[in-house]
Structure 1
Amino acid sequence: MPIDDVVLSFTPASLMLLNAVLAFIILGIALEVRPADFRAVARSPKAVLLGICAQYLVLPAVTVGLALVLRVPASIALGMILVACCPPGGISNVLTHRAHGNVALSASMTAVSNLVAIAVMPLNVALWARLNPATAGLMRNFSLDRWEMLVQVLLIIGVPFAVGMPLARRFPAVTDILRPWVQRIGLVALLVFIVAGTASNLGPLREHLGTIFLVVLLHDAVALAVGYWTAAAVRLDEPSRRAFTFEVGARNTGLGLGLTLTFFAGLGGMAMVAAWWGIWDILAGLLLAAWWRRRDARRGTAAAAGSAGSAGSAGPAGNRGTGR
């Protein structure tokens, strides 16, 4: 069966569960955010604004071009675009820390990008999907209500931020204890959902798994490269380049999966791209971070020291890690 004709089957209860898991994951990010992250943006906005442009303009544009070059089926191309339009996941902070990157910059970009996504993401998906004839035709099969998607994203991202940030500010000691557990539980719950959902729908998808794997591998590598070379193009230091790499390369694909199931009727190609991205970008990010650490050790340098020094460009957020 062509993958554009495959539709994944999920019950309304499972969709509600997924949305709850996604909100829980965002809560883990919100508990990590401090007012200093936003003050840092106000003091030195150029790096963060550049990161936002890389995430919401450069990556989607490159993704449209990549899908055209690869000539992938329309549903896979639309899944790639949806993933590219997602905000960064909190795992980006963990990967940046492990790679001796600028964690302060990473934390600021994650916070701002997720808030920007509330308004930008629904418009971005509709805009970039129209630039590929195949995805534009596929979009006509769905009545995508951008306002309804805006409300969905607002509930999943906005509400957890509205709850998590005041809690972190008022009860810092308690949230420091709770935060790692919220992040770990959310990540594990999402992975379990992805694995269980894929297993229950494996039959019609089996023949397409190789294609999905290769497309996600290439797309993720391109996203990581877009982040690094965008920062390099404006001559940011190495720790900041590593932060950009993971802020652009590590997307909150759980959100993309939830939107696929809600607004695109569980379209198989889209759902599988988002689901596999959610697993692969963690593995690829860990491998890249480990490679950077080994390279630093061989060179006898401590890029982590540069992280602390360059934090002044993004504010004193400190070395904080989060889950996806």
Structure 2
Amino acid sequence: MKLSAFSAFLQKTFALWVVFFAVLALGFPEAFVWLKSYIAIMLGIIMFGMGMTMTPADFKSVAQQPKAVLIGVLAQFIIMPALAYILCQLLRLPTEIAIGVILVGCCPGGTASNVITYMAKGNTALSIACTSVSTLLAPILTPFIFYLLASQWIEINATSMLVSILQVVLIPIFLGLVTRALFKQKVERSIQMMPIISVVAIVLIVAAIIAASKAAIFQSGLLVLAVVILHNALGYLLGFCAAHCFKLNYADCKAVAIEVGMQNSGLGVALATVHFAASPLTALPSAIFSLWHNISGPALASYWAAKAEKPTKHE
């Protein structure tokens, strides 16, 4: 099997691998729990790969459709944090879980959203532009919004969180951009490896947190899963509605919906691991979000892709 074909296979079956290793981690936690110490490094590798795959065309699309990108980014940093806060208040979630839900809600869009948008026959260029911009804004907006919403539950050092996001997100992306600029030909050959590395890293991050949170999952797992499903589904719905209200076309609406509904939950896990190490339950919403949105995303994409193909069948 060619590398490109293997990469495509892994991306298409991403959700299955996440579920498989999550179940494996529950059954044999000792095999994965040691990976928890390397979560920030694995996320940094994912972000480095993202930087290597960025091209001037990604930033051109921001200039070409600034209204759509602005709507996507604003929806990302308004809808998901607001939903997280409302769900925590309505459901009266325990403190550790509430902090974790708000933390994942304040994270930027996930890189998997670009693949899901492509599968859904949405505007992939818009999705990439929104992910890039929201990720670059994350060092400022994620700690700031998280401080505003979660400081009633726990004392938060927003400056320390900003430094963490710079270390695991912005600096690796910058190094990836520089690497591509300096070693363009060599990088072009190795870029097709990056989706494989990203899939493996995300699967291992989820497995590490599931393994470390085994007791918490059996105690609060169903509650967290219910909150995550609500958060994710409402994110898709309100993201689509926001784009539709501003009269974006259908392909753009799909891209914004997916961008809003899918979070960089790996960042949520890394931040929870570093800043709330004394409360392991705080990382659980991010881990379960990573597990769930890699199931719901492909399912939604399949529905939209099938819907897009229907008119051609009648022709």
Band the TM-score falls in, shorter-chain normalisation: 0.7 to 0.9
Cα displacement (A) at 1:249:
1.1
Residues 82-129 of structure 1 show CA distances to partners (whole Å, capped at 9, x for unaligned) of 111111111010000000010111111111110010221111110122
Name which of 38, 51, 63 aligns with 1:17: 38
Pairing 1:248–2:263 present: no
Calculate the TM-score normalised by the size of structure 2: 0.83
Query: What is the Cα-based RMSD across aligned positions, in Å?
Result: 2.2
Name which of 200, 208, 211 aligns with 1:188: 200
SS in 1 for 2:53: coil
Cα displacement (A) at 1:210:
1.3
Residue 39 of structure 1 corresponds to which residue in structure 2? Answer: 60
Separation in 2, partners of 1:241, 1:222: 14
CA contact (8 A) 1:18 1:190 kept: no
CA contact (8 A) 1:103 1:243 kept: yes
Amino acid at match of 1:139: I
Name which of 113, 116, 119 aligns with 1:98: 119
Cα displacement (A) at 1:40:
2.8
Residue 171 of structure 2 corresponds to which residue in structure 1? Answer: 159
Amino acid at match of 1:37: D
Pairing 1:282–2:294 present: yes
SS in 1 for 2:101: helix
Separation in 2, partners of 1:109, 1:160: 18
Residue 139 of structure 1 corresponds to which residue in structure 2? Answer: 154
Separation in 2, partners of 1:298, 1:59: 32
Relative distance call for 1:227 and 1:176 in structure 2 (3 A) is farther
Structure with more of its chain in helix, by fraction: 2
- Give the unaligned 5+ runs of structure 2: 1-29
CA contact (8 A) 1:30 1:111 kept: no
- Percent identical among aligned pairs is 32
Separation in 2, partners of 1:53, 1:61: 12
Separation in 2, partners of 1:264, 1:110: 26
Name which of 11, 20, 26 aligns with 2:47: 26
Task: Tell me the number of residue pairs that the alignment of Structure 1 and Structure 2 aligns.
Answer: 283
Residue 174 of structure 1 corresponds to which residue in structure 2? Answer: 186
Cα displacement (A) at 1:217:
1.0
CA contact (8 A) 1:261 1:271 kept: yes
Cα displacement (A) at 1:172:
4.0
Amino acid at match of 1:282: N
- Give the unaligned 5+ runs of structure 1: 1-8, 131-135, 302-324
Separation in 2, partners of 1:34, 1:106: 14
Residues 149-190 of structure 1 show CA distances to partners (whole Å, capped at 9, x for unaligned) of 111100111111211113334444433332232232232223
Residue 122 of structure 1 corresponds to which residue in structure 2? Answer: 143
Name which of 209, 215, 224 aligns with 2:236: 224
Residues 240-263 of structure 1 show CA distances to partners (whole Å, capped at 9, x for unaligned) of 011101111111111111111111
Separation in 2, partners of 1:280, 1:169: 36
Calculate the TM-score normalised by the size of structure 1: 0.81
- Between 1:163-172 and 1:150-159, the stretch displaced more is 163-172
CA contact (8 A) 2:120 2:305 kept: yes
Amino acid at match of 1:193: I
